[in-house]
Chain A
């Protein structure tokens, strides 16, 4: 009995201590004057640095986000936050490679080398995004983060990184949740300091819908997504405008990303009388729909359409993808892009494994160009004002591999036009498919 009581006492004491700690910890934070922002401590530290900076160098007035100083001989640090493990590893690895090539090609900025200080995994989920982002911002020297691969990871990462004054720029987030609906309504999870070179789902969905209804003249459409936020977002971005135009969505269904047997949804599509199936999903699930569709009675002549998630060399060379339509951002066919691909293959032993390497490459280069423009020398030290960096990224126009990039007020920077392409017998590889543009829609064409 006495032993028990002692245990109870010990535990109670422990709880009391922790409670005290809890109160103490938070009030200490409040005492610093930081009350609500996530990562507020870091902001404060930065602000402190900037004050000392302002004391020593009178030439510069620091912006309210603080500055990052890079001493002579030190590298400029950027970070990558991509999905590099698990079943979506190829999405992230592809972009990490794009970033690495961008760094190698850029060489240096104002005499400072560029270092990929972090190669974090966003795990394609929110806790991965949160942990990775927190780790990156703990290093006060990191200027910008290229990431995330997945929109789900982007939500917490955008909050953490922008609260710390740094830049997050993604090559493959397309969810409207992170920016706006393109109709001028800011989304709940948009934060200043977040940018992306990938297009907003809203543009692509509307473009694909317009093409199917006006150019192909089809009115009965089935959509299939794979339960990923991106593909689900894109199918709903397709369905709305398509029905507004007067078409009918005869079936809106979903599969799972690891599903191989597509006969059930395809049979349903056939029964519903679909003339076209829009399935903006990824490989390998995307391989199986055209593979199995012809064997379903009633779908022998169905038109198939995918999106940029399937615009890769490994997909368009599949025999079954012949005749398919694709929507996607105006894609690079320039010699610069070919050089990039050559370099990619030399470096990594395989052709690009996904479709967002060029977006990540552009994202990295946008950051480099912006830093080049706004960085100032103070004695030996390179000074990067974080507010100025945001302003510059928000206003600059950059000619990238993926087109002309310029950001709107909510951080959507992607080339605001969407190509519709077709993979016919004549097209042997991804370059040719990307070149076989049937229609191009700009944001104005779509009224967005």
Chain B
């Protein structure tokens, strides 16, 4: 975890400091070569070619090449980063050497792409690497002859790398305004139809016409500059603030803090109420899906996050919920058709899920972590195969699934559009979040956490491990089954193909990327891993590639998740803390949470 060194808090300089070590050029060269490999892969997997037709800013900035040179920028940024401040050394100051390092990394990366271009123009590599087409060569070389093209590629990459490194040279306030401005321009350019829908929902279509080439079109140059200036100015004005919002809230007296939270909750709820109306069917649909995943994530959070049992077959309970709901409500259900209302069917769904939870949990009570993982994975697959099987087709419809599931009806209200479903789904999510939150400090919750820390000790202290394990599985299963029932009703059909192991993995990844044990973290995880990929669906061909890379990078740099629970973050950084404590000659308190502390300037 060398990357995550928590910077020590600022304190008056009292002792003589040794000069900071300079930027390591050898490291820059290594980074450049790694970056080069990444750039070559981006070209050879067809990402550059596919996205070349997608213009970010009309007509100057196609996404394909931008992607390539953004990598040069990123690796330049890494190469030019001043070494982390060490105790006893002066804080490193960026200078022209950093720029050189960045440029070096970029140039080496560019060189790799140049070599690729040279290879492509000499040999026909398409027999193996299908994406290395003449069209790609044309894009990479800008249509120039090879020699000139290589020089151009290396030069552009070097400049991109140097700019990346140059970020470290900027004064802090400028940096804090410039980077968000660029990010916002990118967001506007990428999420064109989200932005377009937002403006349309707010009856501000004139903004769409002003910023974009049309509905769903690319950002215009004027649009990009406008967004840039607005964001830049806003951040510049805000940039004077010393503390973060979170810091200020934590500094409030208690009464004020409670009032603030209540007001904030109310504001968020009012915003949520308007979300489906403003955002239209597509974004609502995406949010509905995210809500269902969030529900599952909250349930799995109990099993994995609280009780410490790694369940890789969680999708089975989701499937049980969906199928029970479908059988009880659909007129097309093969075996028997009670055609209940979903509201009436819900108790049966819960009972079915609880039974399924017990069925899975009882045999695995005595199993250890890794054994538990593979056995639950097995149960997940067994569930999917059985729902798909011809043996049970007379009950579950087999490969042909169950169709014609009626929409959710509550009293006189008939829900049908994705916008309508937003409300019940988020109502259930809120209840689940509250239940999760309440359970955390309940008798059960404490028993789970004790068991997570050490099963034998927990048992010795009087915790009934069997009950604790069973209850965790059952609560998790019931939450997932709610998700399943809502899912079936909203889509209107269930097929076994929807209950793939990928769902289990996705839910697990949500709670880990978001921050295990932390409810807001799980919500953010669902947002990042479900909403973003769905909004950027043109990337779906490469979705799992990005997804995989994100997982690796995330685990290497921020394993506690985006919004960790305090306890977990402490555990994960225990090593660093003890190291800090050892170095801490001033007797200051060590930083408890690396994520909220700004580096000293």
Do the two chains bind? yes
A22: which of B258, B401, B427, B538 is its contact (CB, 8 Å)? B427
* B332 adjacent to chain A (CB < 8 Å): yes
Asked if B266 and A17 make an inter-chain contact with CB atoms under 8 angstroms apart, the answer reads: yes
Q: Are B282 and A134 in contact (CB under 8 A)?
A: yes
Does B366 sit within 8 A of A, measured CB to CB? no
Q: Which of A47-55, A224-232, A265-273, A406-414 contacts B (4 or more CB under 8 A)?
A: A224-232
Could you tell me if A138 and B197 are in contact, using CB atoms closer than 8 angstroms?
Answer: yes
Q: Mark B522-541, 1 if CB is under 8 A from A, else 0.
A: 00000000000010011011
Choose one: A121, A188, A232; the contact of B403 (CB below 8 Å).
Answer: A188
Cα(A256)–Cα(B418), bound, Å: 34
The contact string, 1 if C-beta is below 8 Å from chain B, for chain A 330-345, is 0000000000000000
Q: CB within 8 Å of B: which of A16-39?
A: 17-19, 21-29, 35-39
For the complex, give the distance between the alpha carbons of A3 and B437 in Å.
Answer: 14
Contact A155 B403, beta carbon cutoff 8 Å: yes
In the complex the two chains form, is A124's CB within 8 Å of B497's CB? yes
B496: A residues at CB distance < 8 A? 227
Q: How far is the CA of A349 from the CA of B132 in the complex (A)?
A: 8
B337 within 8 A of partner (CB): no
Chain A interface: which of B486-494, B513-521, B589-597? Answer: B486-494
* Total contacts A-B at CB 8 Å: 200
Complex interface: stretch among B270-278, B356-364, B453-461, B577-585: B270-278
- Taking CB atoms, residues of chain B closer than 8 Å to A159 are 492
CA of A175 to CA of B285, assembled, Å: 26
B5 at the A interface (CB under 8 A): no
Q: How far is the CB of B141 from chain A (nearest CB, A)?
A: 18
Return chain A residues, CB-CB under 8 Å to B410: 22
Q: Which of A112-120, A300-308, A440-448 contacts B (4 or more CB under 8 A)?
A: A112-120
In the complex, are the beta carbons of B281 and A229 less than 8 A apart? no
Contacts of A124 in B (CB 8 A): 497
Within 215-233 of B, Cβ neighbours of A (below 8 Å) are at: 215-216
* Inter-chain contact A227/B399, CB cutoff 8 Å: yes
Q: Which stretch, A5-13, A209-217, A395-403, touches the partner chain B?
A: A5-13
Q: B493 contacts A155, CB within 8 Å?
A: yes
Q: What A residues does B434 contact at CB under 8 A?
A: 11
Shortest beta-carbon distance, B134 to chain A, in Å?
9
Decide yes or no whether A233 CB sits under 8 A from chain B: yes
Chain A's closest residue to B543 (CB) is: A85
Interface flags, A246-279, vs B, CB<8A=1, else 0: 0000001010100000000000000000000000
Q: For residue A424, which residues in chain B have a CB less than 8 angstroms away from its CB?
A: none
A21 pairs with B272, CB closer than 8 A: yes
Which residue of chain A has its CB nearest to the CB of B399?
A232
| Closest CB in chain B relative to A299 CB, distance in Å | 22
Asked if A84 is at the interface (CB within 8 A of a chain B CB), the reply is yes
Q: Determine whether the beta carbon of A130 is less than 8 Å from that of B416.
A: no
Chain A interfacial residues counted at CB < 8 A: 73
Selected contact of A39 from candidates B197, B385, B407, B417, CB within 8 Å:
B417
Interface residues on chain B, size class: 35 or more
A176 to chain B minimum Cβ distance, whole angstroms, is 9
A188 contacts B215, CB within 8 Å?
no
CA A137 – CA B418 in complex, angstroms? 12
Interchain CB contact (< 8 A) of A17 among B215, B270, B282: B270
A24-B276 Cα distance, complex, nearest whole Å: 12
Contact of B414 among A11, A36, A233 (CB under 8 A): A36
A135 to B258 alpha-carbon distance, docked (Å): 40
Give chain B nearest CB distance to A123 CB in angstroms. Answer: 8
State how many angstroms separate the Cβ of B411 from the closest Cβ of chain A.
Answer: 9
B270 close to A126 (CB less than 8 A): no
From A139, A227, A233, A349, contact of B216 by CB (8 A):
A139
**Shortest beta-carbon distance, A141 to chain B, in Å?**
7
Pairwise interchain contact A25-B423, C-beta atoms closer than 8 A: yes
> Given contacts A125-B497, A155-B403, is CB(A119)–CB(B423) below 8 Å?
no
Contacting pair B403 A189 (CB below 8 A): yes
> Cβ of B495 and Cβ of A23 under 8 Å apart?
no
Contact with B along A129-143 (1 / 0, CB 8 A): 011101101110100
CA of A40 to CA of B197 in the docked complex: distance in angstroms? 17
Q: Which residues in window 367-404 of B have CB below 8 A to A?
A: 385, 388-390, 398-401, 403-404
Can you name the residue of chain A whose Cβ is closest to the Cβ of B279?
Answer: A138
A152 to B400, CA, bound (A): 8
Q: A10-B265, A127-B498, A131-B289 are in contact. Are A175 and B400 (CB under 8 A)?
A: yes
- Report if A188-B332 is in contact (Cβ < 8 Å); known contacts: A124-B497, A227-B388, A229-B495: yes
Quick one: given A18-B426, A85-B543, are A131 and B285 in contact (CB under 8 Å)? yes
Question: Which A residues touch B427, using CB under 8 A?
Answer: 15, 18-19, 22
Give complex CA distance A35, B487 in Å: 21
- Cβ-based interface call for B544 (8 A): yes
- Contact: A232 with B390, CB < 8 Å? yes
A41-B419, A74-B214, A229-B400 in contact; A349/B133 too (CB < 8 A)? yes
Give A141 to B196 CA distance when docked, in angstroms: 14
Closest to A22 in B: B423
Measured CA separation A125–B315 after assembly (Å): 15
Query: Whole-angstrom distance between the alpha carbons of A89 and B276 in the complex?
Result: 32
Q: Which residues of B contact A3 (CB under 8 A)?
A: 258
Q: Is B130 a contact partner of A121 (Cβ separation < 8 A)? A: no
Residues of A within 8 A of B286 (CB): 131, 135
A10 pairs with B498, CB closer than 8 A: no
- How close is B442's CB to chain A, nearest CB, in angstroms? 11
Quick check: B400 and A85 within 8 Å, CB to CB?
Answer: no
> Is B413 in contact with chain A by the CB < 8 A criterion?
yes
Q: Cβ of B420 < 8 Å from any Cβ of A? A: yes
Known interface pairs A41-B281, A134-B281, A349-B131. Does A85 touch B544 (Cβ–Cβ under 8 Å)?
yes
Q: Which of B131, B272, B404 is the one whose CB lies under 8 Å from A189?
A: B404
Q: Identify which of A15, A126, A138 contacts B498 (C-beta below 8 A).
A: A126
Chain B hits for A22, CB < 8 A = 410, 413, 423-424, 427
Residues of B within 8 A of A156 (CB): 491-493
Contact flag A121-B399 (CB < 8 Å), given A17-B273, A26-B415, A350-B130: no
Contacts of A189 in B (CB 8 A): 403-404, 493
Closest to B500 in A: A125
Question: Which B residue sits closest to A348, measured CB to CB?
Answer: B130
- Whether A23 pairs with B404 at a CB distance below 8 angstroms is no
Contact of B285 among A28, A74, A134 (CB under 8 A): A134
Give CA–CA (A242, B289) in the complex, Å: 43
| Bound CA–CA A6/B259 (angstroms) | 10
Q: Are the CB atoms of B416 and A126 closer together than 8 Å?
A: no
Query: Which listed residue (B215, B283, B415, B495) contacts A139, Cβ 8 A?
Result: B215
Pick the contact of A232: B261, B400, B500 (CB < 8 A): B400
Distance of A84 Cα from B539 Cα, bound (Å): 10
Give the distance in Å from the alpha carbon of A26 to the alpha carbon of B419 in the complex: 9
- Which residue of chain A has the shortest Cβ distance to B393 in the bound complex? A232
For the complex, give the distance between the alpha carbons of A17 and B426 in Å: 12
A177 close to chain B: CB less than 8 A: yes
With contacts A11-B434, A84-B541 known, is A139 near B131, CB below 8 A?
Answer: no
Q: Is the C-beta of B365 less than 8 angstroms from some C-beta in chain A?
A: no
Q: A135-B282, A139-B193, A233-B400 are in contact. Are A84 and B417 (CB under 8 A)?
A: no
Which residues on B sit within 8 Å (CB–CB) of A350? 130
- CB neighbours (8 Å) of B407 from chain A are 38
B148 interface residue per 8 A CB criterion = no
10 residue pairs, one from A and one from B, having the closest CB atoms = A138-B282, A121-B540, A22-B423, A232-B399, A21-B273, A134-B285, A152-B495, A135-B282, A125-B497, A125-B498
| 27 pairs of residues in contact across A and B, judged by CB atoms under 8 Å | A13-B265, A14-B269, A17-B270, A18-B427, A22-B410, A22-B413, A25-B277, A29-B420, A38-B407, A41-B419, A74-B214, A85-B540, A86-B544, A125-B500, A127-B289, A134-B282, A137-B281, A139-B215, A177-B400, A189-B403, A225-B399, A228-B399, A229-B400, A229-B401, A252-B390, A349-B126, A349-B130
Known: A121-B537, A126-B498. 6 other contacts (CB 8 A): A28-B277, A36-B416, A42-B281, A127-B491, A137-B282, A349-B131
